[in-house]
Amino acid sequence: MPYTTITERLGFRPILQSDAAATAALMTAGLSRWLATWPSQVSNQEVSQRIADLHDRTAEGTCFARAIEGLDDGTLMGWVSARKETKDSRLGVIGFWIGEPFHGRGYMTEAVRAFVPLVWDNLGVDVIEAGALPENAASISILKRIGMHYIGDRLELAPARNRIERCVWYALERVQRV
């Protein structure tokens, strides 16, 4: 499938049902510990349902998501996504993850930086927010690198762990350049 966006090292494309097995394989305990909605043990069927839900929300106009692949070999590396609560909302929330084999090489900063303009264009929001666990220095660093500013702490439900967790939240207004 042709890429909808290309960076120096990465290609973005729609997330497909055929990505279920590769996605499930990437969702390790070491990665899941940072993600509110992804358990470390996820089946291909559960990922397939998640992909179907993404497609439904995309059709409703409340979600925009892309698979991240390495340009060198087409390997699925992770996902970037944005959602808004209602079609008319002017606030979007982004989420992102990349498999552990790809950590520490700047891929996620590259991906999120390229993804933000797509969120503006595809969801029509004025503000993008993102949250992270306070101990997740890598994600917080990404948010700061793309120009997001700290807006406060919030208690959030982490369904993957069935508990409430404190998260630090950052925001970027549309007028800012990434």
| CATH number of the domain residue 145 falls in | 3.40.630.30
The verdict on residue 178 lying in a domain is no
The verdict on residue 40 lying in a domain is yes
The verdict on residue 74 lying in a domain is yes
Name the strand (E) or helix (H) holding 117.
Answer: helix 107-123
Q: What percent of the chain has pLDDT over 70?
A: 98
pLDDT, position 88: 86
The verdict on residue 97 lying in a domain is yes
| Nearest Cα to Cα of residue 14 among 88, 93, 142, 122 | 122
pLDDT, position 178: 52
Separation CA 162–CA 143 (nearest Å): 25
Res 119 pLDDT > 70 = yes
55-63 mean pLDDT: 95
Res 124 pLDDT > 70 = yes
Partnered with residue 145 across adjacent β-strands are none
The verdict on residue 145 lying in a domain is yes
118-130 mean pLDDT: 95
Domain count for the chain: 1
Q: State which residues form the domain around 162.
A: 5-173
The verdict on residue 79 lying in a domain is yes
Residue 120 CB-density burial (10 A; 0-12 exposed, 13-18 middle, 19+ buried): middle
pTM: 0.92
> Structure tokens of 39?
């358990």
